[in-house]
Structure 1
Amino acid sequence: MEKINKKLMDVSDSLKLLDKTVSSNTKAISELTDKFDLLEQYFKKNFLRFLGIAENNDEDLVEIIVSLINNTLKVPCANQDIDYTFRVSKLTQADNTRAVLVNFVSNIKRTQVFNSRKLLKGTNLSVYEDLTRKRYDLLKEAKKRIWHGPQMVKYF
């Protein structure tokens, strides 16, 4: 009987040690996930996501974006202000467009364009920050709580 109790205590001690290890690893994974999200968002700091831009086979996205920024958003912009552009996601049948990601050379120009996005009101175009999945889901949840939560306040 004493042997069984000793073995049981040994197994119990091993289990406690494994629980501590799992808890420590879970905490480390959570911290690393947060750091990775921070690094990914830092990488995206000069990106903006444009929605509603019609798609053509022989399009020059840089020219289209520069024209949109200059003419519609009223922000002076040249081709040299944009590092690169590309379309993302799958082509949908509903509107036949895909989002355009634009990487600006400087964060200053990106911020000017982002701050002038209110000039797109009433058009089918929109501009959003390029967020990580975690931050996008958090923003979506915050908007949902603002509009549908118990403390909802709408200003008109």
Structure 2
Amino acid sequence: MPTSRSQSGSVIMDENLIEQLSVKVCQRLEDHLNKKLGKIENKISELSNRFEEKIEEISSKMSDITDSMVSNNAKITDITEKLNNIEAAHKRNSLRFDGIAESDNENLMSVLINICCNILKVKCCSTDINNIYRQGKFDVGRKPRTILQKYKNICKRRFN
């Protein structure tokens, strides 16, 4: 029986040793996992902080872009109004003539001065006129192109 006792004592010792080793392994494993978990948590925290900084940076840039867009829209509106005024002034200083036949080597200045003086019975001379031209592209089979006559100022256009 001594052998059985010694075997059972040995088994108990082996079990105790295994238990102690198991506790140590579990403790080391837990420590190792806690260290890894701490590193992961730190990395996640760093990434979270970086993302928050980037979000703030992007938000700031978006705000700047929005402000710039509002400013640009106001400028576009202002420029559009100015362009409309310029176009209106341009039209006030111009006359359009439609239906006047086209000919090769035509002298639009003399043609229109003749129309103004002889047909419309209005005084008109070449010094009153800034520019005369036909509008659009010449096409043989189509009606004559419109003639635009631009006066130096609106008073001359009114034939005063």
TM superposition score normalised by structure 1: 0.58
Instruction: Provide the C-alpha distance between the structure 2 equivalents of 1:36 and 1:106, rounded to a whole number of angstroms.
Output: 18
The residue that corresponds to 1:75 in the other structure is: 122
Contact 2:95/2:149 (8 A) holds in 1: yes
Tell me the alpha carbon deviations over residues 91-130 of structure 1, each in whole angstroms, 9 at most, x when there is no partner: 24321x11212122442231249xxxxxxxxxxxxxxxxx
How many residues end up aligned between the 2 structures?
112
Higher share of residues assigned strand = 1
Q: How far has the Cα of 1:55 moved from its partner?
A: 0.5
Matched, 1:107 2:148: no
Q: Tell me which of the two structures has the higher relative contact order, counting C-alpha pairs closer than 8 angstroms and 6 or more residues apart.
A: 1
Instruction: Provide the C-alpha distance between the structure 2 equivalents of 1:80 and 1:43, rounded to a whole number of angstroms.
Output: 18
The residue that corresponds to 2:83 in the other structure is: 36
**Which deviates the most, 99-108 or 53-62?**
99-108
Q: 1:21 to 1:80 in 2, by over 3 A?
A: closer
Instruction: Provide the C-alpha distance between the structure 1 equivalents of 2:56 and 2:152, rounded to a whole number of angstroms.
Output: 63
Q: How far has the Cα of 1:63 moved from its partner?
A: 1.6
Tell me the alpha carbon deviations over residues 18-71 of structure 1, each in whole angstroms, 9 at most, x when there is no partner: 111122112212212322343354455422221111101122211211121123
Provide the secondary structure at the position in 2 that maps to 1:103: strand
**Which deviates the most, 99-108 or 1-10?**
1-10
Structure possessing the higher radius of gyration over alpha carbons:
2
Letter in 2 for 1:107: I
Q: 1:15 to 1:106 in 2, by over 3 A?
A: closer
Provide the secondary structure at the position in 2 that maps to 1:108: helix
The unaligned stretches of length 5 or more in structure 2 are 1-44
Q: 1:79 to 1:18 in 2, by over 3 A?
A: closer
Runs of 4+ aligned residues of structure 1 deviating over 6 Å after TM superposition are none
One of 35, 48, 52 as aligned partner of 2:95: 48
Letter in 2 for 1:94: R
The residue that corresponds to 2:107 in the other structure is: 60
